[in-house]
Amino acid sequence: MPEPQAVLGGLTESAVFLVVSASGVPGSRARLLDVASSVNDLVRAVGFRQAAAGLTCVVGLGSSFWDAVRPPGAPRPEGLHPFRAVHGAVHDAPSTPGDVLFHVRADRADLTFELTRQLMAALGDAVRVEDHVTGFRYFDSRDLLGFVDGTENPTGRAAVGAAIIPDGPFAGGSHVVVQKYVHDLAAWGALPVEAQERVIGRTKLDDVELPDDVQPPDSHVSLNTIVEEDGTERDVLRDNMAFGDPAAGVLGTYYIAYAADVGVVERMLDRMFVGSPPGRYDRILDVSTPLTGTSFFVPSLDLLESLAADAPDALDAADPGPPPADATPPPAAAPTASPATAPA
């Protein structure tokens, strides 16, 4: 199997989630592809000086960007399409634009900062920043709702099975879905801890899953447990991080999930927002509002590094024009919400 990008890297102390689109200036797509395709040169230059901090950067390519840059005659990855907005009776998950995701991770915030700085310098006016979030580890990997987040992530071979496309022309690749959620912590804090535990499906202090006889069918854990008819459980690999700006009242969770089959993430989103059965939606959404929602294909390392050289000849002249009109705008701001592009 071709070598995957650093998808399986796991949670770090610090992360940056940078979503950009080609700006439309002449040659912008070619420059964006060049920088994305050679990102590991920058990762080495920044990361080698503090190797123990484990700097990595995963690159994801959005659906229309893939169509523009794919080598002539290359197929489309199965399941690659713009993030599908989800409309529940009470809560919606919007779809927001993005040509390229840079998911930067390290155990030191200076390294994630420095790589992002160098990336932005290399990209220059070729990109429009759609969203830029700096996430951090909060105590023992808790989200800002106060619960440990990431416990049931698959590990080892199960993580590879959940996140990496095993065969076909895109073997070693992956899909990644991101959503930036902001929390209403005043409303959440007004719930007794036992009620919060029933929303999540685990205990708060010691992070133990609630026993079957008290686990609500609409807890976050229940709704996100996908079991096929043959009993197989379907997993994704999550790398959520806390982020925030307390002075601005912005407190959130950046959701990011890698999946070999993006349909698994989409089924989870349907179950959370529409509910299972419809109407019994995830109560986490009463206090958490997604401001963004974007899907990307993550090529294997080999494919990523060959893309710039194999790009169509016309790419340099191509101008992507304005952002697609069908992208759903972010919903009206919740009390603690910021615009999608607010520094966080």
Bridge partner list, 296? 176
Choose between 28 and 96: whose C-beta lies nearer to ligand HEM. Answer: 96
Asked whether 97 and 294 are in contact (CB, 8 A), the reply is yes
DSSP run (H or E) holding 133 = strand 127-136
Closest approach, Cβ 263 to ligand HEM, in A, equals 12
- 234 contacts ligand HEM (rule: CB under 6 A): no
Distance CA 180, CA 241 (A): 10
Q: What is the CA radius of gyration of the chain?
A: 20
Is 149 catalytic? The answer is: yes
Phi, psi angles (nearest 5°) of residue 315: -60, -40
- 210 contacts ligand HEM (rule: CB under 6 A): no
SS3 344: coil
Size of the site for ligand HEM (CB under 6 A): 27
Q: Which of 178, 171, 177 is nearest to 77 (CA)?
A: 171
Binding mask 273-292 for ligand HEM (x = CB under 6 A): -----------x---x----
- 145 contacts ligand HEM (rule: CB under 6 A): yes
Asked whether 142 and 238 are in contact (CB, 8 A), the reply is no
- 269 contacts ligand HEM (rule: CB under 6 A): yes
Closest approach, Cβ 204 to ligand HEM, in A, equals 9
Q: Exactly one of 34, 99, 143, 149 is catalytic; name it.
A: 149
Choose between 131 and 149: whose C-beta lies nearer to ligand HEM. Answer: 149
- 152 contacts ligand HEM (rule: CB under 6 A): yes
Q: Which range of residues in 101-109, 117-125, 267-275, 300-308 is near ligand HEM by CB under 6 A?
A: 267-275
**How does DSSP assign 55-85, residue by residue?**
-EEEEEE-HHHHHHHSPTT--PPTT--SPPP
Choose between 53 and 265: whose C-beta lies nearer to ligand HEM. Answer: 265
Site for ligand HEM in 247-266 (CB under 6 A): 253, 255, 257, 265
Distance CA 79, CA 306 (A): 22
Bridge partner list, 144? none
Closest approach, Cβ 176 to ligand HEM, in A, equals 12
- Interaction site with ligand HEM (CB under 6 A): 143, 145, 147-152, 179, 181, 200, 202, 220-221, 224-225, 236, 238, 253, 255, 257, 265, 268-269, 272, 284, 288
